[in-house]
């Protein structure tokens, strides 16, 4: 057990190094989320509605995390393939979940950095001090969002392993995710037939938990649902990972560039 | 004791073309390859591009499933005992890729140490030894993106040896490396068998195979066409002679036409700077130069020389026949 934890911790830390050594990438990671957060806040500010601004401000904070994880994780294995490391990872005696989860956790760490930057952006540029009733529960909600998103990211990464254009799938998910997770528009405004799609994304529940913590409601139910859905993706990802790697070994698709 | 035992290994790829009318095609990349490598042996697998060398290696390192046949590495089946095989093998391929560019060499080795199951308390010692072995001590904290191709390749070898594998697979490790770097790399490869490793090496460079390999198998179109020590393979063409004709601006169809000369076994063309050298492998007592020069016609010709066959000549005869 100690050896497994050591492996996950070391791999996580080294993947954080890989994803955070470039200043350019650091700026780029936060640039799009900040621009869209800005657009959202400008739209809501027109109404002069303080509750609306609180809603949009909280959503914008978590929105960047979705971009950092949901979009990037889809192409995580494709990037390993481009750099020639995918075969080495698959040929390792360590199972894919123990290789990939530290990587998606590293993406979530970049997402947490986005959360902090967006929070400060809202405060300094929009003079929007978010009202947070319980800071510990708010932070817990954000951490659960990061953790469950990394499990969702793991699922996306293994699902897209055989597609060379996985980055396009990730990019196509960015804006629909903002709507489906209720970052910028209340879920009640979406068509009913879309609600099940929202429910199967753990970030929807984590976002609700963050809002609960901010407005003083109990977030535990939503936190539990977020963790449950996240765990579901971990299990499905584990199963699919084995199947898809076996399929790649049968069809010789590991080395495709 | 046998470290690698390959029996009638086959691999077929299915490809399809067309959008509306899809046509499926089967390509047999490996057609019944069999060989055995003894423990501590350095075995070479030679063949032209597309001959099936890399496909064979990928089946042996469990990255590809064979279509038919069987293979055992370090006593374990490559299909059934995947994890056991992976614990006992190292895989190194040539080229720039396969490393995390933004990490230092040390961090790359730490990362793969974790993935390949090196115990945390042994990692520092093991990494230090391997950096020493591949001559990267003192450069280990630099990011890989600043490394030369030769340094990257040596780092690859260190990475492949992290978990002290019994069998090391080297797939064209010296590709694209300058002569000095290639010489250092050959010394590193030679040192592997000295510490008891079994090595399977694929390479295009004949002098490399000649210098390093205990035994060689030549693979052509997915089949092994010859196997033996470098000396045995050279003996296959020792009864032949090689005639080299230096030319300037000869065209391929003219070269191809030399195959009709009596006593000529194979015809090849090598670019040497501004020269094109026509290489004719001939029967020992055949007199081919006069007739070949006549067929070259108006082509400007330089020196005509005779020499003894090399491993490269043996290889060309085997893969070209």
- What residue of A is the nearest CA neighbor of B108? A14
Minimum distance, in Å, between the CA of residue A9 and any CA atom of chain B? 10
| Residues 6 or more apart whose Cβ sits within 8 Å of residue B20 | none
Q: Which of B83, B98, B114 sits opposite A7 (nearest CB)?
A: B114
Instruction: Mark yes or no for CB contact B103/A14 under 8 Å.
Output: yes
Query: Where do the domains of chain A lie?
Result: 2-251
A206 in Cβ contact with A233 (< 8 Å): no
| pLDDT values of chain B reduced to their tens digit, one per residue, 321 residues | 799 999 999 999 887 777 777 788 888 899 999 999 999 999 999 988 888 999 999 999 999 999 999 999 999 999 999 999 999 999 998 877 899 999 999 999 999 999 999 999 999 999 999 999 888 999 999 999 999 888 898 899 899 999 999 999 999 888 777 788 788 888 888 888 888 899 999 988 888 888 899 999 999 889 998 899 988 887 776 667 788 898 988 888 888 888 888 888 888 888 887 888 888 888 877 788 888 888 888 888 888 888 777 777 777 777 765
B16 in Cβ contact with B22 (< 8 Å): yes
- What residue of B is the nearest CA neighbor of A10? B111
Locate all alpha helices (DSSP H) within B145-215, ordered by sequence: 149-161, 179-194, 206-212
Per-residue pLDDT, B320: 65
Q: How many CA atoms lie within 13 A of B42 on its CB side?
A: 23
**Which phi and psi angles does A58 have, rounded to 5°?**
-65, -45
Residues in chain A: 257
Rg (CA), chain A: 18
Minimum distance, in Å, between the CA of residue B319 and any CA atom of chain A? 26
Per-residue pLDDT, A10: 94
Q: Which residues of B touch A3 (CB under 8 A)?
A: 119-120
Q: Determine which helix (DSSP H) or strand (DSSP E) holds B108, and give its type and residue range.
A: helix B105-115
B71 in Cβ contact with B5 (< 8 Å): yes
- Residue B251: DSSP 8-state: -
C-beta atoms surrounding B303 within 10 Å:
9
Chain B touched by A4 (CB under 8 Å) = no
Q: Which residues of B touch A90 (CB under 8 A)?
A: 63
Residues in chain B: 321
- What residue of A is the nearest CA neighbor of B84? A93
Distance, CA of B186 to CA of B196 (rounded, Å): 16
- What residue of A is the nearest CA neighbor of B103? A18
Distance, CA of A154 to CA of A240 (rounded, Å): 10
Per-residue three-class SS string for chain A: CHHHHHHHHHHHHHHHHHHHCCHHHHHHHHHHHHHHHHHHHHHHHHHCCHHHHHHHHHHHHHHHHHHHHHHHHHCHHHHHHHCCCHHHHHCCCCCHHHHHHHHHHHHHHHHHHHHHHHHHHHHHHCCCCCCCCCHHHHHHHHHHHHHHHHHHHHHHHHHCCCCCCHHHHHHHHHHHHHHHCCCCCCHHHCCHHHHHHHHCCHHHHHHHHHHHHHHCCCCHHHHHHHHHHHHHHHHHHHHHHHHHHHHHHHHCCCCCC
**Cα angle, residue A81 at apex, residues A78 and A84 outer, rounded to 5°:** 155
Q: Residues of chain B whose C-beta is under 8 A from some C-beta in A?
A: 13-14, 58, 61-65, 83, 86-87, 89, 91, 93, 95-103, 107, 110-112, 114-117, 119-120, 143, 159
For an interface test with A, give the residue of B100, B114, B160, B162 to mutate (most A CBs within 10 A).
B114
Minimum distance, in Å, between the CA of residue B42 and any CA atom of chain A? 22
- Residue B104: DSSP 8-state: B
- pTM comes to 0.83
Per-residue pLDDT, B239: 61
Distance, CA of B155 to CA of B94 (rounded, Å): 11
| pLDDT values of chain A reduced to their tens digit, one per residue, 257 residues | 888 899 999 999 999 999 887 788 778 878 888 888 898 889 888 888 888 899 999 999 898 888 877 778 878 888 888 888 988 998 899 988 899 889 988 988 888 988 999 999 999 988 888 889 999 999 999 999 999 988 998 888 888 777 777 778 888 888 899 899 999 889 999 999 999 999 999 999 999 999 999 999 999 999 999 999 999 999 999 999 888 888 888 887 766 55
For an interface test with A, give the residue of B115, B120, B121, B123 to mutate (most A CBs within 10 A).
B115
Q: Which of A88, A89, A252 sits opposite B64 (nearest CB)?
A: A252
Q: How many CA atoms lie within 13 A of A183 on its CB side?
A: 28
Chain B touched by A18 (CB under 8 Å) = yes
Distance, CA of A232 to CA of A237 (rounded, Å): 8
Chain B touched by A250 (CB under 8 Å) = yes
Per-residue pLDDT, A255: 64
* CA torsion angle B141 B144 B146 B148 (round to 10): 110
Instruction: Mark yes or no for CB contact A88/B91 under 8 Å.
Output: yes
Per-residue pLDDT, A256: 55
Distance, CA of A56 to CA of A50 (rounded, Å): 10
Q: Determine which helix (DSSP H) or strand (DSSP E) holds B114, and give its type and residue range.
A: helix B105-115
- What residue of B is the nearest CA neighbor of A90? B63
**Of A4, A186, A160, the residue nearest A77 (C-alpha):** A160
Chain B touched by A175 (CB under 8 Å) = no
For an interface test with B, give the residue of A13, A14, A244 to mutate (most B CBs within 10 A).
A14
Distance, CA of B166 to CA of B73 (rounded, Å): 9
């Amino acid at each position: 057990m100690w050896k497994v934890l050591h492996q996950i911790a070391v791999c996580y830390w080294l993947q954080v190094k890989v994803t955070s050594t470039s200043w350019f990438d650091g700026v780029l990671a936060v640039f799009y989320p900040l621009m869209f957060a800005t657009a959202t806040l400008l739209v809501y500010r027109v109404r002069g509605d303080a509750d609306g601004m609180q809603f949009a401000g909280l959503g914008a904070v978590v929105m960047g995390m979705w971009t950092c994880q949901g979009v990037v994780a889809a192409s995580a294995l494709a990037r390993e393939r481009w750099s020639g490391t995918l075969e080495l990872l698959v040929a390792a005696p360590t199972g894919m979940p123990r290789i990939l989860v530290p990587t998606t956790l590293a993406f979530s760490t970049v997402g947490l950095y986005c959360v902090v930057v967006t929070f400060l952006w809202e405060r300094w540029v929009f003079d929007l001090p978010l009202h947070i009733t319980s800071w510990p529960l708010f932070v817990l909600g954000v951490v659960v969002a990061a953790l469950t998103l990394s499990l969702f990211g793991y699922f996306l990464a293994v699902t897209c392993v055989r597609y060379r254009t996985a980055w396009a799938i990730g990019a196509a998910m960015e804006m629909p995710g903002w709507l489906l997770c209720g970052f910028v528009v209340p879920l009640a405004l979406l068509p009913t037939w879309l609600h099940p799609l929202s429910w199967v994304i753990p970030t929807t529940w984590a976002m609700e938990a963050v809002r609960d913590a901010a407005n003083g409601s109990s977030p535990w139910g939503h936190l539990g649902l977020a963790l449950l859905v996240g765990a579901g993706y971990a299990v499905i990802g584990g199963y699919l990972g084995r199947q898809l790697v076996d399929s790649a070994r049968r069809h010789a698709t590991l080395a495709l560039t | 004791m046998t470290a690698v035992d390959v029996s009638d290994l086959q691999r077929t790829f299915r490809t399809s073309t067309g959008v509306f009318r899809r046509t499926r095609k089967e390509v047999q990349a490996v057609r019944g390859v069999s060989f055995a490598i003894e423990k501590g042996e350095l075995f070479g697998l030679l063949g032209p591009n597309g001959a099936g060398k890399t496909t064979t290696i990928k089946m042996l390192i469990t990255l590809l499933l064979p279509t038919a046949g069987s293979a055992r590495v370090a006593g374990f089946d490559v299909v059934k005992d995947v994890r056991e095989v992976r614990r006992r093998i190292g895989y190194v391929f040539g080229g720039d890729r396969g490393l995390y560019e933004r990490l230092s060499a040390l961090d790359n080795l730490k990362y793969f140490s974790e993935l390949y199951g090196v115990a945390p308390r042994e990692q520092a010692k093991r990494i230090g030894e391997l950096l020493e072995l591949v001559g990267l001590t003192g450069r280990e904290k630099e990011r890989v993106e600043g490394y030369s191709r030769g340094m990257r390749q040596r780092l690859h070898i260190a990475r492949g040896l992290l978990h002290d594998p019994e069998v090391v697979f080297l797939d064209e490790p010296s590709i694209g490396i300058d002569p000095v770097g290639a010489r250092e790399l050959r010394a590193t490869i030679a040192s592997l068998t000295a510490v008891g490793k079994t090595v399977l090496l694929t390479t295009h460079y004949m002098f490399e195979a000649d210098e390093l390999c205990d035994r060689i198998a030549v693979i052509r179109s997915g089949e092994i066409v010859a196997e033996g020590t470098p000396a045995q393979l050279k003996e296959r063409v020792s009864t032949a002679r090689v005639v080299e004709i230096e030319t300037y601006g000869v065209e391929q169809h003219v070269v191809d036409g030399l195959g009709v000369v009596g006593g000529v076994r194979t015809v090849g063309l090598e670019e040497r700077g501004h020269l094109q050298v026509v290489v004719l492998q001939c029967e020992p007592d055949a007199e081919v130069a006069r007739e070949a020069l006549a067929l070259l016609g108006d082509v400007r010709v330089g020196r005509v020389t005779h020499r003894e066959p090399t491993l490269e000549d043996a290889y060309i005869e085997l893969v070209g026949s």
